[in-house]
A and B are shown apart, each in its own frame.
Chain A
Amino acid sequence: MDRSARGSQPPAAPESSRRRFLKRGLALGAALATGGRTVPGRGEPVPGPADPSKVVGGPMVPYGERSRFEEALKEKGPPFLPDEWGGNFTPLEETVGIITPSALHYEVCRGGIPDIDPRRHRLLIHGMVERPLMLTIDELKRLPSTSRILFLECAGNTRSEWRAPTADKARFTHGLTSCSEWTGVALSLLLREAGAHKGASWIVAEGADATGNERSIPMAKAMDDVLVAYGQNGEAARPGNGYPLRLIVPGWEGNVNVKWLRRIKVVARPYMTRMEAPDHTSLLPDGKARQFVFVMEAKSVITFPSGGQRLPGPGLFEIRGLAWSGRGFVRRVEISTNGGKTWRDARLQAPILRFAHTRFALDWRWDGRETILQSRCTDETGYVQPKLAELVKVRGLNSLYHNNAIQNWKVRADGSVQNVHA
C-alpha cells in the first residue's frame, strides 16, 4: 500500500528541519485559531474506515510505527539557530505515564547528530589507570548490565522563564526533560577493570560528535551510580540520544551525560572544558558564577491543564503532571488550584523510582472562574520546590541554568490556559 496514502511521512523526506519547524508553526497556529486538531505540517489525515471490523487490516511490519492519527512531535528551538544546534523539546503535555517514547526524548545538540558506525566505535579509558583500555561495543555488551528508569534534564530547561513567562506550552517551559529506561555497564566496573589510581579524583568524559562535548565529573560520582549506556527503552539508544554509547549520570544535569561517548580520561583535577568553564555556570548577583552545578533540584509541572490547552467548560477534571528530583525519590506533590492560597496532596502513581519522572494526579472540579494552577514537589531529602521569587531573591536574574521554580498556569473563564508568573 502506498505509504503516503496511509498518512505516514516518507522515510527520507529531504526537507530541512528548519522548514518543517516553520511549517509546523504555521499549522499549529492554524490549529489554535480554529480550535481543531490537524496533523501539523501534514494537513488532515485521510479518514479511517467507518467500521474497521468490516475490512481486512494492514500488514504487520518488522519495525512498528505509531498510528497515523497520532501527532505528538518534538519541537526544535530557538528558531534562529541552525538545525544542528539547539534544543529539541519533548511535548510533555502530549505524553502519558513516566516513560518518554524514545522518538520523543528531548535532544540538545551543538554540532549535529553524528552518524556513528557501532562496528568502528570504541571507548577508550586512559589517564591515571593501570591498564588503558580500548573497548568495542560488543565487549561492553558482554559485561554485566544494569537497567534503570531515569530522567534526564538539560540544565537550561525552563531557562526562558526567569524574567517573564515567555513559553506558551509545557513543552517549551519544561520539555528539556524526558525519562527512559537506560541499559548499560556500571562505570565503576570499567574503572576497576582499567585499575584507576587511588589519587585520581575526577574523570573527563568526551563525546565523538563534531563539538566533542567534554565534561569533568568527580570520581566519587563516577564510582557511585554512573552508567555507560547502550540501551534505551529496550533497544539501542537513539542517535540523537547518544547512539551507540553514552554516559548516564543519575540526577545530574543533562550535559554531563555525555552522548556518543568515546573516551574517559582518569585525572587528578577538572579540565575546565568549554562546557563547564564558561558554559553551564550560573552567574550570581555578586558577579561570581557557580561552577560544577551538577544536581537537578526537585521540580514538577502540571501537563494538564497546561499552556495552550482549553477546558471545554466547568466540570470535573483530573489534573496531571510530572515531578522529579536529582536528589532521589519524589516523596510528595502538592497542587494548588487557587494560586497558592491552599494546597492539596496529589496522588503519586506507581512506580515511584529514584531519579525518575513520577506521575501525579488530582481530581479537580473547575467552577468556571479564572484561577491559577500550581504544583510543588518535595523530594526524599525534604527539599521543597521553591517559588520563582525565592530563587530570584538569592540568585538574581542572570544565572541562566537550574530554574526549578513552581510553574503557574492561569485558567481563564473561557477555559483557555496560559503561562503566567504569579
Chain B
Amino acid sequence: MSTRKHGLGLWAALLMVTSVTISGALAQMPTYGVGRAPTAEELKAWDLTIPPDGQGLPPGQGTAVLGKPVYAARCAACHGENGDDPKYRALVGGRGPLTSAELSENLDWVLGGKPVLTIGRFWPYATTLWSYINRAQPFDEPGSLTHDQVYAVTAYLLYLNGIIGEADVLDAGTLPAVKMPNRNGFVPDSRPDVGKITAPKKR
C-alpha cells in the first residue's frame, strides 16, 4: 500500500517536472478527444457571418438597379414598396438626428411604429445588412437568395437610404468600404450609470 502511494507520488513529481518544461504544448492538448474535424464543405455551408472588415464575403456583385426587382418580388410584401412600411420593420426613412423629438414620439415600439431606427439612420455597418439578408431573409424563405441577389438587394436598400448611388456596384471589396452615416454613433456600456457598486464582486 505504502509502496504504491510512494510510487504514485514519484510519478506525480516526475509529471510536474515534465509539465514545467513542456507546459506550453500540454496546455494545447485536448483532454477528452471528443468530436471530429469539420470538412471544408461544412465550414463553407455554416460560416456565413460577415464581420465589418468583410472577411468571408463571397464572390458576386449587384447594384440598386438590379436589386429593385428582387426587392419588389421578395421583400416588398413585408417592408413596403419603398422600404418604409413600419408594419414589421421599416428599413428606410426616419431621417434626422437621433436626438429629435420625432424619434422620441415614435420609439415606443420599434416594430409597428413609424420609421425610426432605420438602416440609413442607425445601422453602423453595411456588412451587417448583407450578412443578415443572406442568412435570414426573406422571412418565409430564409437563405434563399443568391449571393448576387443579396448584393443587389443590399445595394438597393443602401440606395433608398441615400447612402450609395443607383449604379454603384457592391461586391466583396466595395461593401465593407461603405461608410454608414451612424458609424460612430455607438459607445460602450458605462453602467452602473444610476446608483453604484459599493461592494467588490466576490466569487
Q: Is residue A113 contacting chain B, with contact meaning CB distance below 8 A?
A: no
Find out whether the CB atom of A382 lies under 8 angstroms from the CB atom of B35.
no
CB within 8 A of A292: which of B32, B35, B189? B189
Query: Which residues of chain B come closer than 8 Å to A135, judged between CB atoms?
Result: 34-35
Query: Which residues of chain A come closer than 8 Å to B135, judged between CB atoms?
Result: 211-212, 214
Q: Is residue B52 contacting chain A, with contact meaning CB distance below 8 A?
A: yes
A: interface residue count bin? 35 or more
Find out whether the CB atom of A271 lies under 8 angstroms from the CB atom of B47.
no
Find out whether the CB atom of B104 lies under 8 angstroms from the CB atom of A397.
yes
- Determine the distance from Cα of A393 to Cα of B197 in the docked complex, in whole angstroms: 19
Find out whether the CB atom of B123 lies under 8 angstroms from the CB atom of A277.
yes
Q: Is residue A267 contacting chain B, with contact meaning CB distance below 8 A?
A: yes
Most B CB atoms within 10 A — which of A163, A274, A397?
A274
Find out whether the CB atom of A195 lies under 8 angstroms from the CB atom of B28.
yes
Nearest chain B residue, comparing its CB with the CB of A396: B104
The smallest C-beta distance from B78 to any residue of chain A, in angstroms, reads: 10
The smallest C-beta distance from B116 to any residue of chain A, in angstroms, reads: 9
The smallest C-beta distance from A295 to any residue of chain B, in angstroms, reads: 7
Query: Which residues of chain A come closer than 8 Å to B124, judged between CB atoms?
Result: 272, 277-278
Query: Which residues of chain A come closer than 8 Å to B127, judged between CB atoms?
Result: 272
The interface residues of chain A, by DSSP majority, are classed as loop
Q: Is residue B146 contacting chain A, with contact meaning CB distance below 8 A?
A: no
Q: Point out residues on A near B: beta carbons under 8 Å.
A: 78, 80-81, 111, 124-126, 130-136, 139-140, 142-143, 160, 162-163, 189, 192-195, 204, 206, 210-212, 214, 262-263, 265, 267, 269-274, 277-278, 281, 283-295, 297, 327-328, 380-386, 390-391, 393-398, 400, 402
Q: Point out residues on B near A: beta carbons under 8 Å.
A: 28, 30-38, 42-43, 46-52, 87-88, 97-99, 103-104, 107-112, 117, 122-125, 127-128, 131-132, 135-136, 139, 142, 185-202
Task: Beyond A290-B190, A293-B191, list 4 extra A-B contacts (CB 8 Å).
Answer: A287-B97, A294-B189, A383-B197, A393-B194
> Which 8 pairs, one residue from A and one from B, show the smallest C-beta to C-beta distance?
A382-B198, A133-B35, A287-B98, A274-B132, A135-B35, A381-B197, A382-B199, A291-B186
A-B contact pairs, 15 of them (CB 8 A): A80-B87, A80-B112, A111-B136, A133-B37, A134-B35, A142-B34, A143-B32, A189-B31, A211-B136, A273-B128, A283-B117, A290-B189, A297-B191, A328-B201, A396-B104
